[in-house]
Amino acid sequence: MDSEERIRIAGKWWEFEPYRELRRRPGIKKPAVHEMPSLGEAIAHGTSVLYPEDPKAEKTDRLTKLRDEKVARACGYVHEPRLAGYKTPQTRRFAALHILSGYAYGRGAMLAEEAAAYAARSGASAALIADPFSLSGAAEFDQIARSLSVKPLLGATFELDEGGEIVLVARTQKGWRSLSRLITECHLSEPRLFPLATWERLAHHTDDLICLSGGAGSPIDHALARRKHDHAKETLDRLIHLYGRDHTFLQVERTFLPGRRAVEAGLIELAERTGVQLIAGGPITHAEHAHFPVQDVLTCIHHLIEIDDFEPRKPSRAEGQPEGFALPRRALNAERTFRTYPQLAEVYADQPDWVAATMRVADLVDDSVLPPRSELPPFAADEDDLLREQVYAGMRRLRPLADAAFRRRMNHELLRIQKLGFSRHFLVAWDMCREAREQGIHFSARGSVVDSVVSFLLGFSRIDAHEHRLHFDRFLPADGSKRPDIDIDFEAGRREDVRQYLVTKYGNDHVATVGAVGAYCSRGIIREVGKVLGIPEEQIKFLAKRIHGGVSPDRLERALESRPELRQSNIDPERYRWVFRLAERMMDIPRNLRSHPSGVVVSREPVCDFVPVTHSAIEAVKIMQWDKRSAKRCFDKFDILCLRGQDVLSGTEEAIRRQELDFCVETAPWDVPETYAAMRSGELIGIPQSASPAMRQAHIRIKTENLRDASLVQAGIRPGVGGAVKINELIARRRGKPFTFDHPALRDILGETYGIVVFQEQVDLLLQRFGGYTSGESEDIRESIYKKRREDFAAQIKTQVVRKIVDNGFAQGVAEQVYDLVAGFNGYGFAQGHALAFAEISLRCIWLQQHFPAEYFASLLNAQPAGYYGPATIANEARLRGVKVLGVDVSRSEVKFSVEDVRAESDPQVVLPNAGIRVGLAQVSGLSVATQQRIVREQPFTSFFDFVARVRPARDELEALILCGGFDSLFPNRRALLWNLNRADDYANTLAGLNEGTLPLEFPAPALMDSVADFTQKERAIYDRKFLGLDIEHHLVAFERARVLSRGGLTADQVKRLPPGQRAFVVGNPIRLRFPPTRTGKRVVFFDLEDETGLLNVTCFDETYQRYGAAIVCSPYSTVMGVVQDRDGHPAFLAERVYPYRPVLRDSLQPGQELPLKVADFLVG
């Protein structure tokens, strides 16, 4: 031990205080102070090499974990990790013990993959990841570490109920199971988010585990720091008893913290007394010194600490848990980083054996400790026979006249499924769907499983794969390189019923929901870092709301200058200095673990034997700690997805059955000319999967005539801006542009898509037919072209692909053309079955909308969010289609939207059956579920006072019901009812007191005070939109109509009817703003301008956006001046000037009140 004690203090890095080292020699009271550059300067100037011991970092090599890899790659936000160069030549063998990654939530500032790469860069031979009560990052850490020749050690940190932390490491697969079971017990036995280990729990799960004392935060170090040597010895003895002397290690952490000299002396004494090995190590929370500010801020966010404070506002223990001693939340300095061997040799110069001894831990661990693949629970004695039996039963029901070709394909699929051992997978899915059907739950398959005839006959899919010539190899290759990926869409409102059926059938321990990692993104970083730094909440909200989701963290500061909506907002960039500087490092750091929206695993053995299981935010739902990528390693995942279109179909069916008891959506005749006519008209507002402007425009341009055409649009548009399909060329060829095939086989594969690659399986077929690749090989190539397109993987394989095609007997020109087709499909694409399944749901919805409009729109509103547009737009569309929207009525409204008869406006004596939609109570903002249910139970009401006395709502609930018109049928003066609130409360309380413990007594209600003037029509409309999120009688823009018309403005509908080239101006609410990336880098903004007549699709090029963008993004109403365009029959409006519009409705607002209209309604983010 050095005779000189050194203490390092980070100081207020955010104020650029220097990083100080205090050197205290024995006998000298005043320490020498050595100042180093501030950590604030490091991150402010992007400097990685501040200290001699810091290895050089290349920011461009950062590994990135993605919340949605497909979308992020498609949008160009992600670079593939380049791992070459991370590995540093080893001088001496040592192990990095132990790393806390981002899965340590608030403690680690590295992704798990990054941690492995940084360990390799430091020259470590082995590295241990040990996140608190978590194995979330273990699989990804293991994979990257192995690729860099670093031995992965997998463990976890455990906080004891008495306080302090220890680290346990899995020695074998059996040890992994012990670790996973222990973590599960520590989570499930305690309140959510507050896991704890007890000595009893530790004793239950000790097999094949190594114990590390844990460093400065260990209970042993804590006891020694307080001179409780006997307690430290007692704790160590208990650990030795549990894990054995040879598998227990004392970590000596040298991170220049005060008071460590005495603790270290105590550790040495303990080691001598017990024979336990001392090793160098402690928590590693960030990769290098310059990353400490990120780690510090993450800690502050997680524990609710302001930057100038050290005391957390978040409790460290839940109510009822033992207090224990609390460890410091914020670190004193930046020393918990990776160290190279020379750095370790310097820090532990007096004890080099402690560094070498770290490898004793690594040498005790097997080469691989991750668990083997789980099996599904047994389903039947002879699963192959049962599957065949059910498939043949499906054929007799669905295709009783099946021809020989159909039967050949069916038997071919069955044989492959059985040969590869996947009958059980199909039976589990079949049984799940059978139960759903019996419970009246609507569902249909999506994805590659639709490519299977067996799936169609078992009832997963409504698409006949044989009829549409779908490619079964895309779903299940003959070489077994791919496991069944069964994705099924259920109703969102009933999906949990399906999951619960699996739990009931297979057991709670054998079913778990896959985890999903919530990560920091641009907006979240602005909000959370802003709070820590003390930026006023209103300023944070303003900036966060206006930051488009496509603005990556490294461009946040530049966005203030490049984005007009921010440039013109007078935001002070200096105020957000640290937000911008920390953002890039914080992006994608895990923030929390939540349940995956669809992924469920079923296992023969308990799930916790493979991965820890923990609480989710949803009661009764347990989630595993692995996300979908890691889960694939051990489990076959069933995606119990939800598609709101299923809810729309189910809800419409239910509403229709109130009049037609035998109606069934499944048998509705949707495949008729009228349905396709509606689709190619572009009138698709409110149609799930088809409502976006791009979809509507594509259907008009392609002139959709059948399901196949509709699937072309799905595949061409829905993947989004990173889509692989050349949709404009496809439409041009469809409309007559000539094209040729250089070989007849190309026509066989691409004939129905006009020589354009539209579906994923077409790439596979091209490679198989011309290059002789297997189905598994062709799929690997296709996926690599997409995933590695930034590395230009397609160019790398060109020579190989072309040569294989030529060697297969094809001409060089044909080989070049095939390669170009394959390489050109380098974006995100759909399988053909997936596109057909989505298109089919859209077509069913169109048919229902045409024939049962009120039932359909009521169901659509109940299913929100169910598509591209929100309730206000949907309600407006219903009105335009002749459906009357009826306001909330406490005596008539159900919880959900419902259908009612209405009287004709032209003749009140005429009743129009099912022509109106009554707004449901659930639509009222702030009205609790319990109050909604009480209202329905007590209906009808005779008066306002009667309602208050019987329902007893909260004061704010009652005000909301008054202001949105819930009592208009009982008493139409809303303002007067507000004046009577106190009297109503008094009446209700008096009546409750009289009737307490006695028979109900009559007590006359007081007279209403009605002398006050009611709200104006404009004020009522504003309150309708505020509390209901939609308009009842008139769209809010309708109140501007007279003024706009007087100045020569037109409605959205009128503009769409103008001839191309005509100039006009229109006023409306800009919604659904889209900023797709362009090749030139210039901005193009698309948005819908909404008024009472509908939507106008507006295009705004970069020059106009730069000048007028603030009026689009920041104004609830905009005046758009421009020129009408015709895009192959689809009307659009090219904006030339845009100005904020001050509506006359503003004069009806109360002081401080804003119009209840969306601003900055970005599609992304």
pLDDT digits (tens, 9 = 90+) for 422-453: 999 999 999 999 999 999 999 999 999 999 99
Which among 150, 160, 153 has a CA at the least distance from the CA of 130? 153
Distance, CA of 1018 to CA of 1036 (rounded, Å): 8
What pLDDT shows up at residue 56?
40
Rg of the chain over all Cα atoms, to the nearest angstrom: 33
Structure tokens given for 578:
């640290």
Q: Work out whether the CA dihedral 780, 785, 789, 793 comes out positive or negative.
A: positive
Residue 983, φ and ψ in degrees, nearest 5? -65, -35
Structure tokens given for 917:
């939609």
Question: Would you report the helix, strand and coil content of the chain in percent, each value rounded to 5?
Answer: 45, 15, 40
> Is 108:299 a contact under the CB 8 Å cutoff?
no
Which among 805, 825, 688 has a CA at the least distance from the CA of 753? 825
> Is 376:428 a contact under the CB 8 Å cutoff?
yes
H or E stretch at 1130: strand 1130-1140
Collapsing DSSP to helix, strand or coil, 546 comes out as helix
Q: Work out whether the CA dihedral 527, 529, 531, 535 comes out positive or negative.
A: negative
Distance, CA of 47 to CA of 41 (rounded, Å): 8
pTM of the model: 0.89
In angstroms, what CA-CA distances link 710 with 466, 469, 675, 760, 869? 18, 16, 11, 17, 20
Distance, CA of 897 to CA of 472 (rounded, Å): 42
Distance, CA of 671 to CA of 1 (rounded, Å): 83
Enter the DSSP assignment of 626. S
What pLDDT shows up at residue 999?
52
User: Which residues of the chain fall short of a pLDDT of 50?
Assistant: 48-85, 1164-1165
Structure tokens given for 736:
């007559």
> Is 842:687 a contact under the CB 8 Å cutoff?
yes
Cβ–Cβ contacts within 10 Å for residue 358, how many?
Answer: 28
**Residue 964, CA atoms < 13 Å, CB-side half-sphere:** 32
- Cβ-proximal residues to 270 (8 Å cutoff; 6+ apart), any chain: 220, 232, 233, 236, 250, 276
> Is 1105:1086 a contact under the CB 8 Å cutoff?
no
Q: What is the DSSP string of 410-427?
A: HHHHHHHHHHTT-HHHHH
Alpha helices in 939-1081 (DSSP H): 944-951, 955-963, 974-979, 981-995, 1017-1028, 1041-1046, 1052-1056
- Cβ-proximal residues to 467 (8 Å cutoff; 6+ apart), any chain: none
Collapsing DSSP to helix, strand or coil, 837 comes out as helix
H or E stretch at 855: helix 853-862
Distance, CA of 968 to CA of 991 (rounded, Å): 24
> Is 1115:1141 a contact under the CB 8 Å cutoff?
yes
What pLDDT shows up at residue 128?
98
Residue 248, φ and ψ in degrees, nearest 5? -120, 135
Structure tokens given for 1019:
């004020």
> Is 189:248 a contact under the CB 8 Å cutoff?
no
What pLDDT shows up at residue 894?
97
Which among 1163, 1143, 1137 has a CA at the least distance from the CA of 1155? 1143
> Is 875:907 a contact under the CB 8 Å cutoff?
no
Which among 1148, 884, 837, 1160 has a CA at the least distance from the CA of 1016? 1148
What pLDDT shows up at residue 46?
55
Collapsing DSSP to helix, strand or coil, 49 comes out as coil
Distance, CA of 361 to CA of 552 (rounded, Å): 41
Distance, CA of 1046 to CA of 1111 (rounded, Å): 22
| Neighbour-count burial of 655, counting CB atoms closer than 10 A to its CB (0-12 exposed, 13-18 middle, 19+ buried) | buried
Distance, CA of 38 to CA of 35 (rounded, Å): 9
Q: How far is CA 362 from the centre of its chain?
A: 37
In angstroms, what CA-CA distances link 1066 with 1073, 1097, 1136, 1162? 17, 12, 12, 21
Which among 856, 822, 842 has a CA at the least distance from the CA of 717? 842
| Neighbour-count burial of 832, counting CB atoms closer than 10 A to its CB (0-12 exposed, 13-18 middle, 19+ buried) | buried
> Is 956:925 a contact under the CB 8 Å cutoff?
no
Q: Strands 637-642 and 590-602, how do they pair?
A: antiparallel
| Neighbour-count burial of 1048, counting CB atoms closer than 10 A to its CB (0-12 exposed, 13-18 middle, 19+ buried) | exposed
Distance, CA of 399 to CA of 392 (rounded, Å): 10
Per-position b or e across 891-918, b if 16+ CB within 10 A of its CB: bebbbbbbbbebeeeeeeeeeeebbbbb
Structure tokens given for 431:
């049984």
Distance, CA of 96 to CA of 796 (rounded, Å): 36
| Helices 644-656, 853-862: inter-axial angle, 10-degree rounding | 140
What pLDDT shows up at residue 998?
58
Enter the DSSP assignment of 480. S
> Is 1162:1057 a contact under the CB 8 Å cutoff?
no
- Cβ-proximal residues to 799 (8 Å cutoff; 6+ apart), any chain: none
H or E stretch at 128: strand 126-132
Q: How far is CA 773 from the centre of its chain?
A: 36
Distance, CA of 1165 to CA of 1156 (rounded, Å): 20
